[in-house]
C-alpha cells in the first residue's frame, strides 16, 4: 500500500490451529490487490519563479497543487492555472489545510520571516513531506530562530532542507526537477539517507554548529 503498487498475495488455506474455524477448505488462494489511494497534494508556500516551476513539474508528475502567498499578484490562477487551491493569506491557509499522509509541503517563500511562519506550522502537522529551500546557513538560522520560540531540535529531523536532490541545479526549472524528484522519491519510498543529511547532523549535534 505504501508503495502504491499492485501486488499479488498468496494465502495457504491449510488447517493451522491459529485461524482454523472448521470451515477452511484447504488449497491456495491468490488475491490481486490494487491500491486506490488519494492523489498526493503538494502545497507550495511562496509564489515566485521557483514555485511556478515546481508546480508545473510536480503537476506533470501526478501531484495536485495548492499555492499559498500573501501577495495576490503572485498567488493567482494566471500564474498557477493548474492549482486546485490558492490562498492569499498564510494564516488562512494554516487554518484550512489539513495535512495528511498524502500531503507534501514545500516552503519557497520570499524571506526568513515567512519561512519561519510556514516551517513552524508545517513541522507540527501530519504531512508526509516537509521541505524548505535555501542554503545550509539559511536553514540553520531558521531552525535556531524557531528554537528561541520553543521548538525542539528533534522537530526539525523530519525536514528536507536544503531541499531537492543534488544534481547541480541552477535555474528555476532545474531546481524544480531536483525538488520534484525528491517528492517522488519520498512518495515511492525510494529516498536515500543522504536526502536528509543536515537533519541527521542536527539530530546528533543540535543546531549550534
The residue behind cell 544534481 is 167
Say yes or no to pLDDT of 142 above 80: yes
Task: Report the pLDDT value the prediction gives residue 10, as an integer from 0 to 100.
Answer: 72
Say yes or no to pLDDT of 209 above 60: no
- Residue 65 is given by DSSP the state E
* DSSP structure string for 101-150: TTEEEEE--SSHHHHHHHHHHHTTS--SEEEE-S-HHHHHHHHHHHHTTT
Task: Report the pLDDT value the prediction gives residue 15, as an integer from 0 to 100.
Answer: 56
Report the pLDDT averaged over residues 151-179: 94
**Structure confidence by residue, pLDDT tens digits, 24-68:** 566 666 776 766 668 999 999 999 999 999 999 999 999 999 999
Q: Name all domains of the chain by residue range, CATH numbers in brackets.
A: 41-205 (3.40.50.720)
**Structure confidence by residue, pLDDT tens digits, 83-127:** 999 999 999 999 999 999 999 999 999 999 999 999 999 999 999
Amino acid at each position: 500500500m505504501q508503495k502504491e503498487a499492485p501486488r499479488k498475495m498468496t494465502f495457504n488455506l491449510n488447517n493451522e490451529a491459529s485461524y482454523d474455524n472448521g470451515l477452511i477448505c484447504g488449497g491456495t488462494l491468490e488475491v490481486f490487490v490494487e491500491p486506490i489511494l488519494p492523489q498526493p497534494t503538494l502545497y507550495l508556500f511562496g509564489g515566485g519563479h521557483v514555485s511556478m516551476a515546481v508546480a508545473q513539474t510536480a503537476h506533470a508528475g501526478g501531484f495536485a497543487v495548492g499555492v499559498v502567498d500573501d501577495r495576490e499578484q503572485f498567488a493567482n490562477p494566471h500564474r498557477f492555472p493548474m492549482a486546485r487551491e490558492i490562498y492569499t493569506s498564510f494564516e488562512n491557509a494554516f487554518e484550512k489545510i489539513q495535512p495528511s499522509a498524502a500531503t507534501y509541503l514545500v516552503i519557497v517563500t520570499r524571506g526568513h520571516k515567512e519561512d519561519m511562519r510556514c516551517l513552524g506550522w508545517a513541522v507540527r502537522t501530519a504531512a508526509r513531506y516537509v521541505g524548505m529551500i535555501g542554503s545550509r546557513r539559511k536553514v540553520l538560522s531558521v531552525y535556531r530562530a524557531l528554537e528561541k520560540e520553543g521548538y525542539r531540535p528533534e522537530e526539525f529531523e523530519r525536514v528536507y532542507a536544503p531541499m531537492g536532490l543534488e544534481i547541480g541545479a541552477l535555474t528555476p526549472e532545474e531546481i524544480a526537477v531536483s525538488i520534484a524528484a525528491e517528492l517522488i522519491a519520498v512518495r515511492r519510498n525510494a529516498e536515500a539517507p543522504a536526502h536528509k543529511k543536515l537533519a541527521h547532523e542536527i539530530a546528533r549535534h543540535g543546531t549550534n554548529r
